[in-house]
Amino acid sequence: MVMMTGRTARAERVEVTRDHILTAAERLFAEHGVFSVSNRQISEAAGQGNTAAVGYHFGTKTHLVQAIVRKHSKSIERHRTEMLAAVEGSDDVRDWVSCMVRPVTEHLARLGSPTWYARFLAQVGTDPALNAIAAEENRASPSLQRNIEGFNRCLPALPPAVRTERGEMMRQLVLHACAVRERALAEGAPTPRESWQGTATGLIDALVGLWLAPVTSVGTTGRPELGEPGAAGQRVS
């Protein structure tokens, strides 16, 4: 019994240490960039006397980034699953866009202020290798895959290149709009919207317009011509 209690206490200490390291790393990565921060700096910011603590608990910086993403993904996954249950069978693009955006903004709202996760993701998004980690975590999300499937079912047909282009626009817009708001809140600067809920509404409005916008093509005259979005059913991913 004493041995079991000792093991439990040690496991709890390890968990607390890991959480301190993740919090410190997320903040430093958000403020300075992933590759501008050393493991030593993270260990010191986490209050660890052992400067090798980051490597001991997480291994490589890639694994550390992955752990930060996973730390937040559980809450986002749970909220998206709840939202999807409410829109199941909808043929409204807005419903499915909302399920992509609001779980993220609601998670940031619940974290309080200041937060660093949106800025952390923006930093990760600038590096192809690190961005691939976040993308892999998204592919492993059952709720996001259901979200994409529902979105695809009601999206107007678009040329493949346009579909890819707008998908990247959507990713960048959500990523950077959240990061800009998060930074403003941390610095006490004014924001266009009073709340994360309002920010989500503005993003959803813009993204629905983005996906339903007509496509400009070059006609036989050589001048741009507007083409209407086609029938539903074209995939976006």
DSSP string computed for 13-66: HHHHHHHHHHHHHHHHHHHH-GGGS-HHHHHHHTT-S-TTHHHHHH-SHHHHHH
| 61 neighbors 68 (Cβ within 8 angstroms) | no
Q: In the block, which residue shows the tokens 């107007």?
A: 156
Q: What pLDDT tens digit does each residue of the chain (237 aa) get? A: 444 466 687 778 888 999 999 999 999 999 999 999 999 999 999 998 777 889 889 999 999 999 999 999 999 999 999 999 999 999 999 999 999 999 999 999 999 989 999 999 999 988 888 888 888 888 889 999 999 999 999 998 999 999 999 999 999 999 999 999 999 999 999 999 999 999 999 999 999 999 999 999 865 555 555 555 543 333 444
| 207 neighbors 97 (Cβ within 8 angstroms) | yes
Q: What are phi and psi of 161, to 5 degrees?
A: -65, -40
Strand partners, 226: 216
Take residue 137 and report the two structure tokens written for it: 């975590």
Task: State the Cα–Cα distance between residues 197 and 195, nearest whole angstrom.
Answer: 5
Non-local CB neighbours of 181 within 8 Å, separated by 6+ positions: 118, 191, 193, 196, 199
Greatest alpha-carbon span in the chain:
85
Non-local CB neighbours of 61 within 8 Å, separated by 6+ positions: 34, 35, 39
| pTM score, whole prediction | 0.85
Take residue 22 and report the two structure tokens written for it: 């993740």
Q: Select from 100, 77, 72, 75 the least CA-distant residue to 87.
A: 100
Task: State the Cα–Cα distance between residues 17 and 11, nearest whole angstrom.
Answer: 10
Strand partners, 220: none
Non-local CB neighbours of 88 within 8 Å, separated by 6+ positions: 150
Strand partners, 227: 215
Q: How far apart are the first and last CA of the chain?
A: 53
